[in-house]
Amino acid sequence: MSGYSGRWLSGVLLSLATATLLATPVASAAGAHQQSTVNGGDAMYTVSPGPGREPYYCSAGFAIVVKGVRYLLTAGHCTEHGLDWKDIGANLDTHFPVTDYGRIRDLNGSGPSSVDLYNGRTQRILRAGIPRVGQPVCRSGMTTKKQCGKVLGLGQTVDYGGGKQVVGTIVTDIPVSSGDSGGPLFAGGIGYGVLSGGNSQVSFFQPLPPVLAAYGAALA
């Protein structure tokens, strides 16, 4: 799997500029947050601050704790607009491009960090790790639900165009679609990263361990 180059060309973008705009699931996405705890892969809904108040959707990543305060980790291109997420909380920060992660204050959340398996069950995430090339992994997101595949490469740079690159990504062959941004990459109880971008053939994830280190955070 080492044949993948260290740079990926534009055209694989998971709707970065519009933060995963969808028209049809507006009602269901908004209703999905009438709950006390948001699991990784669950839908998050907000609206743009500009004219038209367009709806935006992303997926939750991992529940984390920083100095006793609970947050949801997601993609930085989801939190860069400074919006509040319905029934969750406000964006706290964004790190994009170069990296792709951000925090949302999880005002109503409780319990351990878990991933929605979209079969009526959740998977608790016990620790963060770095996968190996060829390893089976899974991803959860609001649009394509739970999908599994394998790791194609580590430490890769993805170019989204317009001068926006993310470095050091985990590359997998798991398909993704609009709305999946920010969702977790995991295997069993180990969390590996949050979805940055991709398409129906390849996907790119911001690794989790350096994000936890940057925040001084732990998994909830």
Q: Which residues are catalytic?
A: 77, 100, 181
- What counts of helices (H) and strands (E) characterise the chain? 3, 18
- Contact between 206 and 172 (Cβ < 8 Å): no
The SS3 of residue 53 is coil
Within 8 A by CB and 6+ apart from 112, the residues are 63, 124, 125, 219, 220
Q: If you write DSSP's letter for every residue of 156-170 in order, what string do you get? A: EEEE-STT-EEEEEE
Three-state DSSP at 125 gives coil
One-letter identity of residue 135: Q
- The DSSP code sequence of 169-185 is EEEE-----TT-TTPEE
Tokens 């190996």 locate to 132
Query: How far apart are the C-alpha atoms of 133 and 169, rounded to whole Å?
Result: 12
- At 203, list the tokens: 């996907």
DSSP state letter for 83: P
Residue 2's CB is within 10 A of a number of other CB atoms, namely: 7
